[in-house]
Amino acid sequence: QKEVEQDPGPLSVPEGAIVSLNCTYSNSAFQYFMWYRQYSRKGPELLMYTYSSGNKEDGRFTAQVDKSSKYISLFIRDSQPSDSATYLCAMSLMRGGNKLTFGTGTQLKVEL
Amino acid sequence: KAGVTQTPRYLIKTRGQQVTLSCSPISGHRSVSWYQQTPGQGLQFLFEYFSETQRNKGNFPGRFSGRQFSNSRSEMNVSTLELGDSALYLCASSLGQGGRFSYEQYFGPGTRLTVT
């Protein structure tokens, strides 16, 4: 079983929809949680970075961390065709420095 | 501020050869991490360098090695290439020290390596 599980999709939604992307993890020692967006043939782009439990909002994006359930989410409001990409969750230990453990990524398509 | 740059962007090599990939981090960033991305395994951590020292290591064979220079630029080397080494190799940079947000990692565009 992988340390971080993520539904690979593909997930297809109409423009303007609210998108919910999720990851579960097994290692309770993870403290830092990130969401990356990756377009085809590009490197991952950091979207959200959160520490421990709680919510963080940035524009149309909201990241949610529930450490008691070992569950993290990314919500995208008013989704746009330009949001079509693969979304990767990643996490690291408190003292793990930069060793990120990634989910497999969820492919999202926002249709006109 | 310029982003993370990686060279070359594309490489084709033959089994048994060796390859060196280069990464220049964001100015001021002292940590460079390397990852391998494949369709089957996703993104996997190779190693991290901070102040010219390897600080973390993933579960890859010794054929994969790296180093970091005093200007924080980093190289990774793969010796005796195998077909399974075909992948997108990504490097990421971060400040690496000093506060909980110093570990935000920013990725380069990657080097796509094909082994034939």
DSSP state string for A25-70: ES-TTEEEEEEEEE-TTS--EEEEEEESSEEEEETTEEEEEETTTT
Q: Chain A residue closest to B87 (CA)? A: A41
Is the Cβ pair A44, B109 closer than 8 Å? Answer: no
Least confident of A34-43, B22-31, B41-50, B96-105: B96-105
Which pLDDT tens digit goes with each residue over B77-95? 999 999 999 999 999 999 8
CA angle B71, B114, B111 (to 5 degrees): 25
- Specify the pLDDT at position A43: 95
pLDDT at A96: 56
Is pLDDT at B1 greater than 80 in this prediction?
no
Q: How many helices (H) and strands (E) does chain A have?
A: 0, 11
Confidence of residue A46 (pLDDT cuts 50, 70, 90): very high
| Pairwise CA distance, residues A15 & A50, whole Å | 27
For the cut 90, the answer to whether the pLDDT of residue A98 exceeds it is no
Cα end-to-end distance, chain B, whole Å: 37
pLDDT at A95: 64
Q: Identify the closest residue of chain B to A98 by CA–CA distance.
A: B103
Q: How far apart are the C-alpha atoms of A98 and A112, rounded to whole Å?
A: 38
Predicted local distance difference test score (pLDDT) of residue B101: 60
Q: Are A103 and A91 in contact (CB under 8 A)?
A: no
Closest residue in chain B to residue A6, using alpha carbons only? B42
Are B106 and A97 an interchain contact pair (Cβ–Cβ within 8 Å)? no
User: How far off is chain A from B106, nearest CA to CA, in Å?
Assistant: 6
Determine contact, residues A50/A36, Cβ cutoff 8 Å. no
Q: What is the mean pLDDT of residues A99-111?
A: 95
pLDDT at A63: 96
- Report CB contact under 8 Å: B104, A46: yes
Q: What is the pLDDT of residue A65?
A: 96
**Residues of chain A contacting residue B50, judged by C-beta atoms under 8 Å apart:** 97-98
Q: Which residue has the higher pLDDT, B102 or B36?
A: B36
Mean of the pLDDT values across residues A56-66? 96
Q: For residues B39 and B100, which has the higher predicted lDDT (pLDDT)? A: B39
Residues contacting residue A29 through CB under 8 Å, at least 6 positions apart: A93, A94
Q: Mind listing the pLDDT tens digit for each residue in A3-21? A: 999 988 899 999 999 999 9
